Structure 1
Amino acid sequence: MPGHFLGLQGANTLVTGQYQLSTRIIDDLVANAATGVIHGPAGVGKTFAVEANLERLRDVGDHRVSTCSLAFPSKPTMLRVAAELVTALTGTPPPTSRSRFHLISHLVGLLAGPPRLVVVDEAQRLNGECIELLRHLHDHSDTRFALLYVGGDGCWEVLSREPMLRSRIFRRLPFRPLPKDKVPDLMRSYHPIYADTDTELLLTIDDTYAHGSMRDWAVFTHTAAQLCTDAGLPGVTAEVVTNANVLLGAGLH
């Protein structure tokens, strides 16, 4: 399991419905060598869920699946995508070549091996040519691999503009902020400092700082846990919440 954000001690993994669906979807993609998309705003837990599943796939005994992940800066070229994919698959720089066609041929050979999952993070940064390159590799008769696009705001809009890709999406999972009515129970299971916290105080934290974002909850919890330790308290109080909000600048614009 990947480490918790900010190395937060005592935190438990929140097995939300979205987290569980990500496991099912990734398994479906691998089983069918298919294409999928997981997308949503920053901080809602999609990256954590994907990384946890990649670790799981790499550690399933005789049935382990090779995985590789890569992300590109804004507006990458087809040549850069091809070169970085070769590096991600082999762990070494690609053969010296200024031709993407040579690299694509090399990639077809690399992707013709055992079951594999290729994850492209920050997929909203890809342009149509780069998306078409990945689609071409995935559709090639000699390759067999699962392809997962992961991205933030605008990811689905970028990918769905490409009809050749959209028609091939086998699974799609939008990640969203935590539902407000689920926040109290989820947080009580997330960290010991919330175990005995009343519902209204937990909702206050969500309203004033976290807003359903798992990343923001982790930041708040890291701060609140230190305040509890400093004050010798077993859990958060209204005063701890107020002081944490001050330290985090909650409500400031």
Structure 2
Amino acid sequence: MPRHFVDLTGAAALPTGHFQMTARIVADLVANAATGVVHGPAGTGKTFAVEAALEALDLLDPISRPRVSVLTFPARPTMRMIADQLLRELTGTENPSSRNRFDLTTKLVGLLATPMRLVVVDEAQRLTGDCIELLRHLHDHPKTRFALLYVGGDGCWEVLSKEPMLRSRVFRRLPFSPLDPVKVPALMRRYHPIYAEADADLLLEVDSSYGHGTMRDWAVFTHTAASLCAEQGITTVDETTVHNAYSLLGGGLQ
């Protein structure tokens, strides 16, 4: 499994609907050489779920296992930047032999023809329309066959859906959202041992004051609370531990 945020010892991957559906979507994209989008607010577990789904591909037999390339670009990258980085990922070479974008595109078409690949574009909300069109062109080319997954935070779907040529080709789409407060106590008890016997109302209060349904905030809080529990020689978080954790986290209000 991918590492938890802040390397949280003892934490378990929560089998939320979003987590499980991400694995299904990645498998579907690979099986159909299709385009998909996973998006949602920061801290809701998108990256962890995608990384886990990519690791699951390693369990496939060598014949059906795709080669995975993960790309991340700065804000508003150019088409040339997209072509350069993708070529480096596919070939392992540091510098492309040609400086001409059209030559690079021709080479990419050949490389994306075989073997089967999965190209993951992280922080996809940073892409421009031209960059999205380049990736769509490569994916739609009659000689290529690869799966394409866009992953992004706030604004990702708004950016991608503005491009009608892409939106009409999205085979799978999964919007992440914060955890349902009603489910937080049960999920947190599965998440870390310090919550196994914790009072449900206390866990709801932590979610309201600090967690806000996001796994990243819960990971930070849990890392702090687990350290305090260890110092106090207790196994279950209590009100005193929660308040002390808040003090270390700026008062607990976000």
Does the CA-based 8 Å contact 2:210-2:253 persist in structure 1? Answer: no
Match of 1:99 in 2: 100
Hey, what's the Cα distance between the residues in 2 that align with 1:98 and 1:115? 26
Hey, what's the Cα distance between the residues in 2 that align with 1:252 and 1:24? 36
Residue 98 of structure 2 aligns to a residue whose secondary structure is: coil
Match of 1:234 in 2: 235
C-alpha deviations, 1:45-89, integer Å up to 9, x for none?
Answer: 000000111111123233322111011000110000000001112
Once the 2 structures are TM-superposed, how far is the Cα of residue 97 of structure 1 from its aligned partner? 2.3
Residue 54 of structure 1 aligns to a residue whose secondary structure is: helix
Where in structure 2 are the equivalents of 1:1-253 lying within 5 Å?
A: 1-62=1-62, 63-251=64-252
**Deviation beyond 3 Å, 4+ runs, structure 1:** 250-253
TM superposition score normalised by structure 2: 0.97
Q: Taking every aligned residue pair, what percent have the same amino acid on both sides?
A: 65
Once the 2 structures are TM-superposed, how far is the Cα of residue 15 of structure 1 from its aligned partner? 1.0
Q: 1:204 to 1:115 in 2, by over 3 A?
A: same
Hey, what's the Cα distance between the residues in 2 that align with 1:71 and 1:2? 18
TM superposition score normalised by structure 1: 0.97
Structure 2 residue runs without a partner (length 5+): none
Amino acid at match of 1:12: A
Residue 170 of structure 1 aligns to a residue whose secondary structure is: strand
Does the CA-based 8 Å contact 2:77-2:126 persist in structure 1? Answer: yes
Residue 61 of structure 1 aligns to a residue whose secondary structure is: coil
Does the CA-based 8 Å contact 2:76-2:128 persist in structure 1? Answer: yes
| Superposition CA RMSD, Å | 1.1
Amino acid at match of 1:45: G
Q: 1:160 to 1:235 in 2, by over 3 A?
A: same
Question: May I ask how many residue pairs the two structures share in their alignment?
Answer: 253
